[in-house]
Amino acid sequence: MVGANIERTTSKSSVGTEIDVCDNERTRPTIRVTGRAEQILAGRKVHLSISHLPDYATAIVVIED
């Protein structure tokens, strides 16, 4: 399933930031951040939406100040 593959993806940037999308079977997927992203996002709300069809998937992230 394409949507499940998005949830397993980890993004790593050149500044050593790691962003993980975690599958939470009881509620919605969540984002776990470490490194510089954790400092940048401290105190902010992060919302994640994942949707998929058999051949396509999309993810949207909204960060509130």
Please name the residues in contact with 63: beta carbons below 8 A apart, sequence gap of 6 or more. 41, 44, 45, 46, 47
According to the model, what pLDDT value does residue 16 have? Answer: 56
According to the model, what pLDDT value does residue 51 have? Answer: 86
Residue of 51, 61, 62 whose CA lies nearest to 4: 51
Q: What is the DSSP letter of 2?
A: H
Take residue 21 and report the two structure tokens written for it. 């999308």
Tens of pLDDT along the chain (65 residues)?
445 454 444 455 445 567 888 877 777 788 888 888 888 888 899 888 888 898 988 888 898 98
